Amino acid sequence: MKMKSGSVYATLNKSRPGVFVLLDPDRTPINKIAQLTQSVCEQGVHGILIGTSLLVSPQFDAFVSTVKQSADKPVVLFPGGSHQISSQADAVFFLSLLSGRNAQFLIGEQVKAVFLIREYDLEVIPVGYILIEPGNYTAVEYISNTRPIPRTKPEIAVAHALAGEYLGMKYIYLEAGSGAEKPVPIDMVKEVKQTISIPLIVGGGIRTAKDARDIIQAGADYIVLGSIVEKSEDQFKEIMESIG
């Protein structure tokens, strides 16, 4: 059953530090998604994000619906654009790509999505989304047509995060990008966490228990695991156990 609108953010906030798993409809075949969802929920994740940079799959709604039916945790859309809105989810991360200077992802896609979001009565969770240089060229950088913040400039990330808080965002999300060669630098996580007073999400390129622990110890309220969940169930379990 869908969660009551307004209850998702409060529910998530009870489990900090926590882990979100990102399920990408372009990477996970729909016939495997029910089993994968049940398995990650059993491992103790706190929420499931669904989204992708492009969306090639024509079965987005069915994908979200299957995840929702198989999950006992909040299911939250993490849309790469206004075409990734589904009535089947509990909530939507209403992302603004603050680190970019591309109006399409700062406000354009959001304007196109609002009427569907209202129609579907999705809980809206505003998120300041900040891309950090990952050491390689990622899909999110290409599709968003924006430049990430340099890894060696934590003060620029801090300024964007604080601007996001002042704009009324409920989360700041530091994102290296799915498949990032390197996760967000630890010092940057620390400096952003010390500056803002809203919860901090960190994702992209987290593949080992050490990565996960270091990022949480640096102050992340939530980490996001994507590729590793699909690539290695054992590695994913090891990460979950190590931050248990």
Name the residues that contact ligand 1GP, by CB under 6 A: 22, 175, 178-180, 203-206, 224-228
SS3 letters across the chain: CCCCCCCHHHHHHCCCCEEEEEECCCCCCHHHHHHHHHHHHHCCCCEEEECCCCCCCCCHHHHHHHHHHHCCCCEEECCCCCCCCCCCCCEEEEEEECCCCCHHHHHHHHHHHHHHHHHHCCEEEEEEEEEECCCCCCHHHHHHCCCCECCCCHHHHHHHHHHHHHCCCCEEEEECCCCCCCCCCHHHHHHHHHHCCCCEEEECCCCCHHHHHHHHHCCCCEEEECHHHHHCHHHHHHHHHHHC
Nearer to ligand 1GP, 26 or 69 (CB): 26
- Which CB atom, from 106 or from 225, has the smaller least distance to ligand 1GP? 225
Cβ nearer to ligand 1GP, comparing 144 with 178: 178
Omega of the bond prior to 17 within 30 degrees of 0, cis? yes
**Closest CB 133 distance from ligand 1GP, rounded Å:** 14
Residue number, 182 or 190, with CB nearest to ligand 1GP:
182
User: Least separation, in Å, of the C-beta of 206 and ligand 1GP?
Assistant: 6
CB nearer to ligand 1GP: give 53 or 70.
53
């998120």: which residue's tokens? 127
Smallest gap from residue 239 Cβ to ligand 1GP (A): 10
The number of C-alpha atoms within 13 Å of 63 and in the hemisphere containing its C-beta is 26
CB of 127 to ligand 1GP, least distance (A): 11
> Which CB sits closer to ligand 1GP, 154 or 183?
183
- Minimum Å gap between C-beta 143 and ligand 1GP is 12
Smallest gap from Cβ 1 to ligand 1GP, in A, equals 27
